Structure 1
């Protein structure tokens, strides 16, 4: 990774130095209720890592008042009731055995050079260097169409291909599913908790102590502990994203559905946007209305928007080419995410269990998103 200085090297060196020899479990890395400085068992570097030479333009929260009592430490809670984990069963592979065998045979008879060249090109797009943290907002017109699934797939893809810190942030309602899809077994600190204690003096190692480490790399910040409570508000969202983007090269935000206020704010302020559209006539119609709204925003938001056309059933009557052409009309690229048995099963996403077509489509989606995110200065 080159370009934009050596902040990537400095950030990763700081994190590596601080975590060598430490317990990698989420419970062992949980910080105390208030920790503006690095903990005693972590080596604090001489300077604070940042994505670029300029600080974030918005005002940052002030340090906690030492005369006030520290906020209570949240209790660590499981993302899935232990009584239900046994009901998940074994994960299915995205492709059937016959499909996998047929694909292997076709790859033997087809030209592999062109496929490798395309994969290399997409990987280079995903790995584009950035000088300031990029925020990618993912939303949809209604729930249940795969919005959190697409956010999780993007977070995992950026984690896999990039060599700098990546954050997947949940800005959905109190009962969002992103932590489950990302494979988090427990959650403790949420957006509202971090908004109360984050300060400019914090190092990357301080911040990651409040996050959930993801198995495939990167970090996760949930919106809640899975309990019904006060929804995430716009002020909390702005505080958290503006404070954290200086530590992470890419932040993928799983927004609430439109027209929620947090979703509108996220779509308006992000560097790139993904609108997840279900493969139905009403889904395509509603998504087109969202694209028309984005086209009216004063800062050309439509130019940095990508549509993920999601097939949630194995048999759909809607013609994908006609649907994509209707959504491409405003000049927005459309990436088809085919039906995948593993994703349809629910529960944690295992990258190795995804169908090859799904993995290829996800990398293509990440490349389209990153290409547009780097355009914004």
Structure 2
């Protein structure tokens, strides 16, 4: 499981400060969330992270649930729990590396010791944390997508969800709306999967409590939860109506929901983008990636103004040195009205395994935190 405990603390300790964990104001979260429920408080016999079934208080067993899909029969029996990574591949997994080499980390430490800007950096981190901890009256939905595979879409979604879960005290949900071999569970360190988005669409009912709902989700650290798109089935599909039902039903339980969408122009991705309060469009920091993304943004300018205003482009560096001038590329993309941020190259992220935030490069942690704060602010502007 990714460990987000050091997310803000690592940066503050590097600067000689101390971590400051914010809390949600009583009654300030989504109207059905109520008092924050910590992950340990809602753990049920057989942790959901291990593919457990619903916790105590569920209205009835899943195999007794009646499908709400028009024309569908009773819901199928409880699905088996399947591993995220096949056991035969366990020997191929290497020990994860730190995001930046030891020499670079030592150089950063030395510069911070002799620099006089530490206090300003601590103040900036504190301001960012305050932005991330703002209360919400209704759950915010943030959709992450791209126009091609390999652009870092799932990585960015995992970083956003982990950041919100660390800084906020209301529950955070990550939804995988990319069922065809999506890798969000792997990036989040999940060990096994059972219930999927399609399954939950046939189960969720208005009278369910947060405790009932989380019994069908995979538990993550810091009061975060994951709803997988599939069990790794090749060619798995997600029905648009099933997705809409899940999102409408679950929104009231979670302060922030991050959706890892399919690549555009998939139908579910279009639905997710239109329903979200903020959108993140990832693109590789290459000439091809920037050019294609610029064309998409120019097309988005013809949509209602809030669409482009609520979009942030993330240029992901996939090699130590980008082959383009990132400042000039960002200026060109920003001319469309969208925001632009850069996620720097990170050896730990490049490995493609479970993300451990304590192994991320300092610059990566800072970039991910700024991105999460900016996107959350955008989501607050649209009710």
2:343 aligned with 1:337, yes or no? yes
Tell me the distance in 1 between the aligned counterparts of 2:329 and 2:140: 29
Offset, 1:300: 1.8
2:129 aligned with 1:93, yes or no? no
Aligned residue among 164, 178, 198 for 1:172: 178
Offset, 1:17: 5.6
Offset, 1:322: 1.1
Please give the secondary structure, in 2, of the residue aligned with 1:26: helix
Aligned residue among 100, 109, 113 for 1:104: 109
Tell me the distance in 1 between the aligned counterparts of 2:282 and 2:379: 17
Tell me the distance in 1 between the aligned counterparts of 2:60 and 2:40: 14
| 1:8–1:163 CA contact under 8 A, matched in 2 | no
Structure 2 equivalent of residue 137 of structure 1: 143
2:37 aligned with 1:31, yes or no? no
Structure 1 segment 220-231 matched on structure 2, within 5 A: 220-231=226-237
| 2:197–2:228 CA contact under 8 A, matched in 1 | yes
> Cα gap change, 1:268/1:236 in structure 2, threshold over 3 Å: closer, same or farther?
same
Structure 1 equivalent of residue 10 of structure 2: none
2:318 aligned with 1:294, yes or no? no
Offset, 1:64: 9.2
Structure 2 equivalent of residue 256 of structure 1: 262
TM-score of the two chains, using structure 1 as the length reference = 0.87
Offset, 1:315: 2.6
| 2:217–2:226 CA contact under 8 A, matched in 1 | yes
> Cα gap change, 1:254/1:319 in structure 2, threshold over 3 Å: closer, same or farther?
same
| 1:174–1:230 CA contact under 8 A, matched in 2 | yes
Q: Deviations over 1:213-249 (max 9, x none)?
A: 1135400001000012441121111111111111000
Tell me the distance in 2 between the aligned counterparts of 1:186 and 1:71: 20
Structure 1 equivalent of residue 21 of structure 2: none
Offset, 1:72: 1.3
Q: Deviations over 1:45-80 (max 9, x none)?
A: xxxxxxxxxxxxxxxx98699xx6442111111111
Tell me the distance in 2 between the aligned counterparts of 1:99 and 1:15: 36
Offset, 1:8: 8.2
Please give the secondary structure, in 2, of the residue aligned with 1:259: coil
Q: How many residues align?
A: 352
Deviates more, 1:306-315 or 1:187-196: 306-315
Tell me the distance in 2 between the aligned counterparts of 1:113 and 1:14: 32
| 1:211–1:221 CA contact under 8 A, matched in 2 | yes
Please give the secondary structure, in 1, of the residue aligned with 2:180: coil
2:182 aligned with 1:183, yes or no? no
Structure 2 equivalent of residue 74 of structure 1: 79
Offset, 1:38: 7.5
Structure 2 equivalent of residue 157 of structure 1: 163
Aligned residue among 349, 355, 358 for 1:352: 358
> Cα gap change, 1:4/1:284 in structure 2, threshold over 3 Å: closer, same or farther?
farther
2:46 aligned with 1:12, yes or no? no
2:317 aligned with 1:311, yes or no? yes
| 1:38–1:203 CA contact under 8 A, matched in 2 | no
Offset, 1:95: 0.9
Structure 1 equivalent of residue 205 of structure 2: 199
TM-score of the two chains, using structure 2 as the length reference = 0.86
Structure 2 equivalent of residue 57 of structure 1: none
| 2:285–2:317 CA contact under 8 A, matched in 1 | yes
> Cα gap change, 1:84/1:118 in structure 2, threshold over 3 Å: closer, same or farther?
same
Structure 2 equivalent of residue 54 of structure 1: none
